[in-house]
Structure 1
Amino acid sequence: MDLRQLAYLVAVAETGSFTAAARRHHVAQSAVSMAIARLEQRLELKLFERQERRVRITAEGEVLLGHARRLLLQAERAEQEMAELRSLVSGEVRIGIPFMLGSYFFPPILMAFKHRYPGLRIQVEEAGTRALLARMAQGELDLAILIASDLPAELVGERLVREEMVAVVGEDHPWRGRSAISLPEFFAEELALFRHGFYHREYMDQLAAEAGITPRIAFESNLIPLHKAVVRQGFAVTTLLRMAIEEDADLYAVPFSPPIHLDLCVAWRREDPLSRANRALRDFLLEQKG
């Protein structure tokens, strides 16, 4: 017996008709009838009682029907797994990354992933947290790096890295060399901050509101190089993740007191199973967790 015969058997049993079974499989009714007849001949069993307007499965047919459904399901799963294996050769992954991580943390990790799976196409979207959340909700991204404490109920995440948020000053600033500064000290300075829509900005606004302080914002920009240039020239101070200035010899990180840490996670939609390719990327990222 072959899978085609078993599929016809299931269709006839479920529809009670050779004609309806043929329509389900887009074949002629004679093809279904002949396949069932050959199956009965091979097994030397009667599988259906042919009545005038209805076909009724026999007790022997019921036994085979259970096996047929299991075998067809196993065949479908095998095809799905083979398709997923092919996806690791020629599939696509779509991930959203916040600007700072995209510039300073992820490039070497993504290159290592590409080296492991050279056939995969990697689509990277850099944006603010709110934009990434919207793209995840719309199904435009499969994975995103987000603030763990900020995940909506429809997303699930696993912690990837903990990073410190620090004040950033230039060489001539009096805070250079300080072990820590308070939030009121920070908000009293001329500031360069991200625009609204970025978690980094919204978090600083929240801290200022909790302290009853109105920040003195001199520059608003989503361009990290502009933030750094403003700080170098002494026009303002800013706040970035510590990783963002590790390679800048003329910029200095000053911790907050108490310290501010952000837990970043790799997130995916709770009710939307990831493809094998996206699971491979998620698992690879978690191997690198800090």
Structure 2
Amino acid sequence: MSLPFDLRTLRVFTTVAERGGFSAAARELHVAQSAISQTIANLERRLELTLFHRHERRISLTPEGQALLGHARDLLERADAAHLAMRELHGLVKGEVRIGIPSMLGSYYFPPLLMGFKARHPGIRLTVVEAGARRLQRMIAAGELDLGVVIDDDQSRQMERRRLVHEEMVVCVPVDHPFAGRDGVSPEEFFAEPLVLFQDGYFHREFVEGLARQTGLAANVAFQSNLIPLTKAIVRQGFGITTFLRRVVDEPELAAVSFDPPTWLALSLAWAKDAYLSRAERAFVDFVIDHRQSL
């Protein structure tokens, strides 16, 4: 069953009611008075109600007209709010981007990108979800997250990806450790040491486990922590060594030493294939790709 009015009709009705006459409403809406009169007459006919008392020089609302006026104002306010929201989204004045980032990247790589995007689009809300890269991949596949940073490998090939980081994974040791100052550390030497590792699901832990499988060696896990500052403190105190992306080893008490042979890790910004990205999310992807050289 179709409604007896549309938004245009309601706007004419409220304008007549608020201005107290057809002539005044016609002037405000920039239409002919006859068009205003016809619109109101058609509305009353469809509703089978009299909405205005017609006096010789003025009009006034009937009780039925008063009842309709409140509903009409509410509907028009909601329509105006919806229109404004769509205009804001189209112009990227508002919106939300939820991005999943592993802690290592979130702490050392992404802050300039996030702040740069926020400066360009201050009305867009950024929500960062911290989890391991493999966990983020599962969340994207399950529809729980739209964008995330994943390991660029065979397991992520079913996703849309844009390469972000291709950086060396290094051994992190105290500066007084025998490995410090060396050109390289073999996997055998690395696995002979007590290790401080992230928990399962993080690319840091997956990298070490992959290296163990390649060499047939077992990791001697002394500590497990997803907190980078705590991991660094344990390494500084000499209770174990770890591996990080090279940029993360940024303290004078710690040394970064290449593996022998050197090992590199690729990480990408990803989303589900054929997934719909909002304008805000698409703008974020474009911004990150345009500025990834700063990573």
| TM-score above 0.5 | yes
Aligned partner of 1:27 in structure 2 is 3
Aligned partner of 1:273 in structure 2 is 276
Hey, what's the Cα distance between the residues in 1 that align with 2:224 and 2:115? 32
Equivalent position to 2:173, from 169, 175, 184? 169
Q: 1:158 to 1:80 in 2, by over 3 A?
A: farther
Aligned partner of 1:214 in structure 2 is 218
Q: Which residue identity does 1:27 align to in structure 2?
A: L
Q: Does 1:100 align with 2:104?
A: yes
What stretches of structure 2 of length at least 5 have no aligned partner?
6-83
Q: Does 1:236 align with 2:212?
A: no
Q: Does 1:128 align with 2:132?
A: yes
Q: 1:83 to 1:155 in 2, by over 3 A?
A: farther
Equivalent residue pairs, number: 216
Q: Secondary structure of 1:89's match?
A: coil
**Seq. identity, %:** 49
Aligned partner of 1:118 in structure 2 is 122
Query: Once the two structures are superposed, what CA deviation does each residue of 1:110-134 show, in whole Å capped at 9, x if it has no partner?
Result: 0011000000000111111232122
Contact in 1 for aligned 2:199/2:205 (Cα 8 Å): yes
Aligned partner of 1:85 in structure 2 is 90
Contact in 2 for aligned 1:154/1:271 (Cα 8 Å): no
Q: Secondary structure of 2:129's match?
A: strand
Equivalent position to 1:253, from 238, 245, 256? 256
Q: C-alpha root-mean-square deviation of aligned residues, in Å?
A: 2.2
Aligned partner of 2:266 in structure 1 is 263
Hey, what's the Cα distance between the residues in 2 that align with 1:211 and 1:95? 35
Q: 1:181 to 1:153 in 2, by over 3 A?
A: closer
Aligned partner of 1:34 in structure 2 is none
Q: Does 1:183 align with 2:159?
A: no
Rg larger in 1 or in 2?
2
Q: Secondary structure of 2:292's match?
A: coil
Shift of 1:155: 1.6
Aligned partner of 1:3 in structure 2 is none
Q: Which residue identity does 1:159 align to in structure 2?
A: R
Contact in 2 for aligned 1:169/1:231 (Cα 8 Å): yes
Hey, what's the Cα distance between the residues in 2 that align with 1:150 and 1:83? 39
Q: Secondary structure of 1:196's match?
A: coil
Contact in 2 for aligned 1:172/1:234 (Cα 8 Å): no
Q: 1:81 to 1:148 in 2, by over 3 A?
A: farther
Shift of 1:95: 0.4
Q: Which residue identity does 1:257 align to in structure 2?
A: D
Q: Secondary structure of 2:3's match?
A: coil
Query: Once the two structures are superposed, what CA deviation does each residue of 1:155-214 show, in whole Å capped at 9, x if it has no partner?
Result: 210111211110001021011111111111101111111111212212211211221111
Q: Secondary structure of 2:239's match?
A: coil
Hey, what's the Cα distance between the residues in 2 that align with 1:215 and 1:151? 23
Q: Which residue identity does 1:85 align to in structure 2?
A: H
Contact in 1 for aligned 2:167/2:264 (Cα 8 Å): yes
Aligned partner of 1:287 in structure 2 is 290
Contact in 1 for aligned 2:88/2:94 (Cα 8 Å): no
Contact in 1 for aligned 2:185/2:260 (Cα 8 Å): yes
Shift of 1:218: 0.8
Contact in 1 for aligned 2:99/2:127 (Cα 8 Å): yes
Aligned partner of 1:19 in structure 2 is none
Hey, what's the Cα distance between the residues in 2 that align with 1:97 and 1:151? 18
Hey, what's the Cα distance between the residues in 2 that align with 1:219 and 1:281? 36
Q: Secondary structure of 2:271's match?
A: strand
Aligned partner of 1:62 in structure 2 is none
